[in-house]
Amino acid sequence: MTATRALSEFIATTRLADLPADVVARGSLILADCVGCMVAGSSAPEVRRLLALEAGRGEPSASALGTRVRLSTDAAAFVNGTAGTWHDLDEGNLSTRTHAAIQIAPAALAEAEARNLTGARLLEAIILAYEASARLWRATQSRLAVHPHGTYGPLAAAFALAKLRADGPSAIEAAANIAMTLGIAASRNTLNDGATVRNIYSGHSGRAGFQALALRDAGFTGEADAAASVLGKIYGSAFDPTAVTADLNSTWWIRRNYFKRFPAGRYAHGALDLVDDLAAQLGSRLAPELIERIDIETFFLAATMGQQSVRTPFGCRFSIPMLVAQRIAHGSIPLTDDGPAFADPAVRALAVRVFVSEDRAATAAYPERQLTQMRVAMRDGRTHAVSNERILGESDRPFPPGILEAKFAALTEASWGDAAATAWRDLIGITDIPDVGRLLEGWRTVCRAA
């Protein structure tokens, strides 16, 4: 039996009632966080122009979140998925190296809305597709040059859509084998270039998930074991099918996900946490003009974000020197606006004095621990040092209560106003929602943006 077949049987036969209560609660929180990211990203000019391109194509049956516009289901998945990664605030999972939810939630929401399904059905599909697709990517020795968005994503979205349509194991497997070959050449170098084409990768995942099911229903077939072929030979150099099903139904990798408080690549968050730790230790903010240099030692993947200058505002999110300099110079990092930091000479001047290098011991400890050390040499001769082992927002170092709700409010209030608080409660209690279509109709009604 292939890994895809085993996962297809797992998805087809597992029900929400079978899931541990904490997994269900985690899934609700992940869905709410994704919705906040999609609503916030919808106001980006590029996303609005993308929305205009998609409007009027196909039957309008699913919402473009953050607007009053309805699109075809695949177009809604494409636009919402693109918006969801625009500010790089979506959740992820260091243990599986995935951002599974934002590949899945846009398509699943569109399908559940169009079919007027219950919130319980929606959450069930998201959690199972998350678990299955994260296991596949975790079992892949992926190439460093490959950005994970848009790779396993079409398969992840197809898993969720097939579950929402109550497909059996054979039908799920057939769609998955097609979807696995619909991924794209997702280049990690887009991060260093600050290229916003990277943001459509997750949108593509949702649209391709719909395409996979349509192709299956039209009689197309996929490779017999597409996951082993594509993951092991194209996106990766090896694939271990036994790792995919190990402890299935007992180990839930969704429990290990993280949430973000900064709009930045996850590997940079350890250093940003240390800026706050040092400021607390000193009892005041650091002043850029008093700093001679900053040295950061961290694990390999974080060290790949050591470029001291960037070409675009979006590139600020993937440069540890620019992010640290912004945090020091401005005292905060706005959730949705990179422009001020990109244009600030003080930020750029400090960034070239921030040096990031790999600590091999940290690399060996990763991902179980995310070791980061920071030494700040002051121009008066003093030196300050801080370090941490866990990034704030990881499952074993969770945010204090209220942080994620406040993040959601900050991301959605511009579109939904006072209704943002109600939307948060509805999403956290999504299993009690009888009709997702009615829920999203309410969001469109209160939306301030046409």
For residues 225-246, give the mean pLDDT: 97
Check: CB of residue 377 under 8 Å from CB of residue 294.
Answer: yes
Average pLDDT, the chain: 96
pLDDT at 450 over 80: no
For residues 328-341, give the mean pLDDT: 88
What are the tens digits of pLDDT across the range 124-180? Answer: 999 999 999 999 999 999 999 999 999 999 999 999 999 999 999 999 999 999 999
pLDDT recorded at residue 343: 93
CA 419 to chain centre: 24
pLDDT at 337 over 90: no
pLDDT at 448 over 90: no
pLDDT at 439 over 70: yes
pLDDT recorded at residue 449: 65
DSSP type of residue 411 = H
Q: By percentage, how much of the chain surpasses pLDDT 90?
A: 95
What are the tens digits of pLDDT across the range 40-59? Answer: 999 999 999 999 999 989 99
Phi, psi for residue 348 in degrees, rounded to 5: -65, -40
Here the tokens at position 411 are: 């991301």
Q: Which of 109-113, 166-170, 330-334, 416-420 has the lowest mean pLDDT?
A: 330-334
Residue recorded with tokens 């009632």: 17
Question: Which residues touch 328 (CB under 8 Å, ≥6 apart)?
Answer: 275, 285, 286, 287, 288, 291, 350
Phi, psi for residue 397 in degrees, rounded to 5: -145, 70
Residue 309 burial (10 A CB sphere; 0-12, 13-18, 19+): exposed
Domains of the chain with CATH codes: 3-261+404-446 (1.10.4100.10), 266-388 (3.30.1330.120)
pLDDT confidence band for 189 (50 / 70 / 90) = very high
Closest CA to 160 of 92, 199, 117, 206: 206
pLDDT recorded at residue 181: 97
Question: Which residues touch 375 (CB under 8 Å, ≥6 apart)?
Answer: 294, 295, 383, 384, 385
Phi, psi for residue 285 in degrees, rounded to 5: -70, 150
Residue 264 burial (10 A CB sphere; 0-12, 13-18, 19+): buried
pLDDT recorded at residue 285: 77
Give the Å distances, CA to CA, from 393 to 37, 159, 255, 431.
Answer: 16, 27, 12, 24
Residue recorded with tokens 């996979």: 212
What are the tens digits of pLDDT across the range 249-272? Answer: 999 999 999 999 999 999 999 999
For residues 98-111, give the mean pLDDT: 98
Task: Report how far residue 202's alpha carbon sits from residue 107's, in angstroms, rounded to the nearest whole number.
Answer: 10
Task: Report how far residue 275's alpha carbon sits from residue 161's, in angstroms, rounded to the nearest whole number.
Answer: 42
pLDDT recorded at residue 339: 81
Check: CB of residue 173 under 8 Å from CB of residue 132.
Answer: no
Task: Report how far residue 161's alpha carbon sits from residue 112's, in angstroms, rounded to the nearest whole number.
Answer: 9
Q: Which of 148-157, 322-331, 332-341 has the lowest mean pLDDT?
A: 332-341
pLDDT recorded at residue 56: 87
pLDDT confidence band for 321 (50 / 70 / 90) = very high
Here the tokens at position 284 are: 């005041």
Task: Report how far residue 116's alpha carbon sits from residue 315's, in angstroms, rounded to the nearest whole number.
Answer: 39
Terminal-residue alpha carbon distance, the chain: 50
